[in-house]
């Protein structure tokens, strides 16, 4: 077996640095990173290559079993082992209280409406170290950086970090945000075709928004989304997922409201998702309800008729096809 994420990714969590950014567990390179801990990049490289060999020898660690990113066979000949994707999850505070937030299982996710420092460590000095490794270790020309969080809009080092990436030629930056604070720098990245934004709406009306997000900011979301769309040429750079949550927004009436709204706003890319707490088995075995297939079919029909790009995660489709998980 082999894993592309293992070879190319670095993911920064509050309490660890690793390759994986899923519910599965690959090698942990650094435990409890802090502003005072010096990162040994040679040691990380050694750990990564040892793990690559384990997978090639079919010695699959328990934490990797069942991961959808594992691929059969050996690492392709000529594969570039340099880092080319960085995922930022080192901050946990947020200005939303989404009911499906998987981070709440691991961290105390403090609510704040004003930007503040990350509770664990600063990422900008580490990014500077990564870039200083040079082209031998880092594919700078093809580097992709994902802001996940927490929410970037309440991270006080967000703008400085983003400016560093832009100044160093990063052309592929993904912003996962609740879209409750408008970010001119994100608008710039989208307009200059150097970034993408993922912002889930999960509803089609204010009342359902309050139930899912647990804040009363539906109108703010819609206004900010409209501003971004008006400012950019390539509308597909904004992805607006719908995360289906049992007994809250899992009905055709709500989905129809959502689809009509995003079509009216001019959104060109959407994604069907299922509550991660169900997908990752946190609530026990999950049997996909029959009406979820009706919702999925409505997505397919509406997007085809209105020329909207319809996406879904591979593992979501896998579970839908199988009918259960956990």
**Is residue 284 a contact partner of residue 326, using CB atoms and an 8 Å limit?**
yes
Q: Please give the Cα distance from 150 to 160 (Å, whole number).
A: 17
Q: In this predicted structure, what is the pLDDT of residue 20?
A: 86
The more confidently predicted of residues 158 and 103 is 158
* Average pLDDT for 65-83: 89
pLDDT at 60 over 80: yes
State the pLDDT confidence band at 63, using cuts at 50, 70 and 90: confident
**Res 22 pLDDT > 70:** no
**326: which DSSP letter?**
-
Preceding peptide of 320 cis, ω within 30°: no
What integer pLDDT is reported at residue 23 of this predicted model?
A: 63
Q: What's the whole-number mean pLDDT along residues 20-35?
A: 84
Residue 108: pLDDT band with limits 50, 70, 90: low
Question: Which CATH architecture is the domain 88-104+148-325 placed in?
Answer: Alpha-Beta Barrel (3.20)
State the Cα angle at 23 between 52 and 97, rounded to 5°. Answer: 145
For residue 253, what pLDDT band results from cuts at 50, 70 and 90? very high
Q: Is the pLDDT of residue 293 over 90?
A: yes
Q: Is the pTM of this model over 0.85?
A: yes
Q: Per DSSP, which regions of 163-292 are E strands?
A: 172-176, 195-198, 238-244, 269-274, 286-287
76's CB contacts (< 8 A; 6+ apart) are 2
Q: Give tens-digit pLDDT for 256-289.
A: 999 999 999 999 999 999 998 888 776 678 999 9
Domain boundaries, the chain: 88-104+148-325
- Alpha carbon of residue 165 to chain centroid: 18
What is the spatial distance between Cα 161 and Cα 183, in angstroms, rounded to a whole number? 14
| SS3 of residue 234 by DSSP | coil
Q: Is the per-residue pLDDT at 326 higher than 90? A: no
């Amino acid at each position: 077996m082999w894993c592309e994420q293992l070879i190319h990714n670095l993911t920064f969590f509050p309490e660890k640095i690793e390759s994986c950014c899923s519910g599965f567990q690959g090698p942990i390179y650094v435990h409890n990173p802090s502003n005072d801990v010096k990162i040994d990049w040679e040691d990380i490289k050694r750990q990564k290559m040892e793990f690559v060999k384990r997978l090639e020898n079919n010695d699959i660690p328990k934490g990797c079993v069942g991961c959808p990113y594992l691929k059969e066979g050996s690492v392709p000949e000529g594969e570039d082992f340099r880092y080319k994707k960085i995922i930022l999850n080192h901050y946990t505070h947020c200005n939303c209280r989404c009911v499906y937030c998987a981070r709440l299982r691991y961290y105390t996710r403090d609510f704040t409406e004003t930007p503040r420092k990350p509770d664990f460590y600063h990422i900008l000095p580490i990014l500077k170290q990564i870039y200083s490794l040079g082209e031998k270790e880092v594919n700078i020309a093809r580097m992709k950086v994902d802001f996940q969080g927490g929410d970037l809009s309440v991270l006080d080092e967000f703008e400085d970090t983003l400016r560093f990436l832009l100044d160093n030629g990063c052309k592929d930056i993904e912003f996962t945000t609740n879209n409750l604070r408008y970010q001119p720098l994100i608008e710039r990245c989208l307009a200059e075709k150097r970034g993408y934004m993922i912002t889930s709406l999960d509803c089609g009306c204010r009342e359902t928004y309050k139930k899912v997000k647990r804040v009363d900011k539906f109108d703010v979301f819609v206004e900010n989304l409209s501003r971004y769309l008006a400012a950019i040429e390539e509308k597909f750079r904004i992805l607006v997922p719908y995360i289906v949550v049992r007994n809250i927004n899992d009905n055709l009436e709500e989905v129809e409201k959502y689809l009509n709204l995003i079509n009216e706003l001019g959104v060109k890319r959407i994604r069907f998702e299922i509550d991660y707490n169900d997908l990752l088995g946190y609530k026990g075995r999950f049997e996909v309800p029959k009406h979820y297939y009706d919702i999925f079919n409505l997505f397919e029909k509406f997007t085809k008729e209105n020329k909207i790009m319809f996406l879904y995660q591979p593992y979501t489709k896998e579970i839908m096809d199988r009918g259960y998980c956990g």
